[in-house]
Amino acid sequence: MLLIKIKPNGILGKLLLRNGKFDGRNLGPISFISKELTGRNKEAVIAHEKEHYYQWKKNPFTFGIKYLFIPEVRYKAELEAYRQQNYIVEAPDTYSYYILNNYKLDKLNLTIEKIKNDLLNKKENSIWENYH
Ligand SMILES: [Zn+2]
């Protein structure tokens, strides 16, 4: 995985990190992270993006499209990525809030409690099996 550090308020940052709304972004073999990240927070975001890289690597021709167009896939992919992030910087409430609000998952009728439960419980989600 190629890791590129970018300024969150620079041209690439505005485009890929939504002006600092996100700390990282994965596009297949390349991950972009904010230059402003340091220490454990940086490690945690890299772990998150690395998980997306593995997801892409498993299905390089279909993952991006499915992630974009199937909310269930996006939800599961983010759960897995935030789970990796949570191993390094533990903040399940914050991550659940991000998942609820930043990934256009309204169709799934999620709640913070459901997300947090899925995030902390590795055996969840029979939904995913239908799409993977
Ligand atoms: Zn993610």
Summarize pLDDT for 9-34 with one digit per residue, the tens: 999 999 999 988 899 999 999 999 99
Better pLDDT: 132 or 106: 106
The answer as to whether 34 is a domain residue is no
Residue 109 lies in a domain: yes
Q: Has residue 126 got a pLDDT over 50?
A: no
Residue 12 lies in a domain: no
Of the candidates 5, 54, 47, the residue with the CA atom closest to the CA atom of residue 28: 54
pLDDT at 131: 54
Angle in degrees, 0-180, between the axes of helices 112-120 and 92-102, rounded to the nearest 10: 120
Instruction: Examine residue 117 and state whether it is found in any structural domain, yes or no.
Output: yes
How many angstroms is it from 44 CA to the middle of ligand 1? 12
Q: What is the pLDDT of residue 70?
A: 97
Cα(22) to centroid(ligand 1), Å:
9
Distance CA 128, CA 124 (A): 9
Q: Is residue 56, in this structure, part of any structural domain at all?
A: yes
Residue 9: count of CB within 10 angstroms of its CB: 13
> What confidence score (pLDDT) does residue 35 get?
97
Examine residue 15 and state whether it is found in any structural domain, yes or no: no
- Does any domain span residue 97? yes
Give me the number of domains the chain comprises: 1
Residue 111 lies in a domain: yes
User: Tell me, what's the pLDDT at 20?
Assistant: 83
Query: Is the predicted pLDDT of residue 120 greater than 70, yes or no?
Result: yes
Q: 109 lies in which domain range?
A: 39-129
CA 71 to CA 78: how far, in whole Å? Answer: 10
Q: What is the pLDDT of residues 43-97, one digit of tens each?
A: 999 999 999 999 999 999 999 999 999 999 999 999 999 999 999 999 999 999 9
Mark the residues whose beta carbon lies below 5 A from ion ligand 1.
78, 81
33 Cα to the center of ligand 1, angstroms: 11
pLDDT at 128 over 70: no
Cα(73)–Cα(69) distance, integer angstroms: 8
Q: Where are the alpha helices (DSSP H) in the chain?
A: 11-16, 39-58, 63-69, 71-88, 92-102, 112-120, 126-129
Task: Determine the Cα angle at 25 with ends 22 and 29, to 5°.
Answer: 170
91 CA to middle of ligand 1, Å? 15
Residue 7 predicted with pLDDT over 70: yes
